[in-house]
Amino acid sequence: MVSAGLWLFSQLNARSRRLTSFHYVKWETADLSVLITYNALCLNVDSFPFSIQKGRGKMRKACKPVIAVHGGAGTWDPERSQAALKSVKEAAETGFKTMRGGGSAVDAVVEAVAFMEDSGNFNAGAGSALNIEKRVEMEASVMDGATLQAGAAALLSDVRNPVRLARLVMEKTDHVFVVGKGADDLARMFGLERRQSVTAAQLERYQAQLKSLLAGSGYLPRLADLIKAHPEVFQLETVGAVALDCAGNVAAATSTGGFPLKLAGRIGDSPSIGCGTYADNRSGACSASGVGEIAIRLVLAKTVCDYMGNGRAPQEAAEDAIALIKERIPNSYNVMGLIAVDVNGRIGAAHSTSNLCWAYMTAALEEPVASLKAKLVK
């Protein structure tokens, strides 16, 4: 039995390319069942990609998809939070059912993000913030960890689901990132649905944001200072999803309406591969929310994936990336939130904002778990 346990350890170690906390087990006295129980604690048994044939120690592949989604880092007041929690929960369920029905991780993250874009409860799709010129400029990206193929689109005014256009860029063009008129032409070429560019609700939020910006001082203070003073008005609610499918492939997708009152033409981290979105089958997948300029400067989503590739669990990787922001860019408005999943199906989430609206679903759960908090890194 000891040899079977050591064989299991060698297989897991080869799969992850690292020593995990397995080395605390006394292998010379361990029973195989103990090893498997211990592994369940370390590697999230709900998504452990193997099952054991009782009595013979043989291993076979099992389908254990995992998905996590977020509706953005920021301050969620009680009036808005319940609808947002319901939406992220339904988005996680949508993506999970997509994989259970035979869909890939890419299918799952695109469907989950499209659901949140359509909900109107977040700064993405139907709920997008307006720029300083009172216009919508949406952006999105998607990445396939199996192939490292990626697609992104930005400066979109009326495409219903920017994440679907990002997927078209990935799968139907030779490019990674298309913006403005070229992106709009591509959306028309493939017949993507459109939506009303600016709604009454968006205009109402714009007026509230502009009022805060102009209030009081007689001059224009820095926008970051206003956002810190009025977090309930300036929402950074990017949406995103990460997933691991039945084939062991990971994917990530992110979508946003952009920084409220941003300069026209500004592009953030959400469509920037490696910054707001990244996925690699050698490590995992990550989606970010918060101040795009911070994520861009630290290539934040790729940093989280690199941490996982070097042996850190997704939770540790997300927390360490948030801590890195505070270490390297301490004197800026630097709030962020992150979700991640690794190739073993473990999930991580961390934020430096008051809240992170997020949800996750695994094979062991009857329904998704949704929350306004993950690990707050101060």
On whether both 56 and 73 belong to a single domain, the answer is no
The answer on 189 and 41 residing in a single domain is no
Q: Are residues 47 and 118 in the same domain?
A: no
Q: What is the pLDDT of residue 332?
A: 78
Dist CA 109 CA 114 (whole Å): 8
25 and 70, same domain (yes or no): no
pLDDT of residue 96: 98
Q: What per-residue confidence (pLDDT) applies to 179?
A: 97
Q: Are residues 13 and 105 in the same domain?
A: no
- Token pair listed for 119: 């909900």
Whether residues 130 and 29 fall in one domain: no
Residue 135 pLDDT: 87
DSSP 313: -
Instruction: Say how many Å lie between the first and final Cα of the chain, rounded.
Output: 46
49/70 same-domain check:
no
Residues 14 and 86 in one domain: no
pLDDT band at 7 (very low <50, low <70, confident <90, very high): very low
Among candidate residues 238, 254, 303, 362, the one labeled active-site is: 238
| Higher-confidence position of 249 and 24 | 249
Strand residue runs (E) in 302-374: 336-342, 347-351, 355-362, 369-371
Are residue 54 and residue 71 in the same domain, yes or no? no
Report the DSSP beta bridge partners of residue 151. Answer: 142
- 38, 61, 84 - which closes a domain: 61
Alpha-carbon distance values, 20 to 6, 80, 308, 312 (Å): 14, 41, 12, 9
Domain count along the chain:
2
Residues 254 and 325 in one domain: yes
Cα 213 to the center of its chain, rounded Å:
29
- In the chain, pLDDT over 70 holds for what percent of residues? 72
| Beta pairing partners, 194 | 159
Residue 270 and residue 72 in contact, taking contact as beta carbons nearer than 8 Å: no
What domain range is 214 assigned to? 66-376
Same-domain pairing of 342 and 360: yes
Which residue type does 93 have? E
Which pair of structure tokens corresponds to residue 290?
């918060």
CA distance 203 to 220: 21
pLDDT of residue 205: 64
pLDDT tens digits for range 139-173: 999 999 999 999 999 999 999 999 999 999 999 99
Same domain, 75 and 125: yes
Least confident range from 19-33, 194-208, 306-320, 340-354: namely 19-33
Q: What is the CATH number of the domain that holds 224?
A: 3.60.20.30
pLDDT tens track for 95-146:
999 999 999 999 999 999 999 999 999 999 998 988 888 889 999 999 999 9
Known active-site residue 238: yes
How confident is the model at residue 152, as a pLDDT?
Answer: 98
pTM for the full model? 0.79
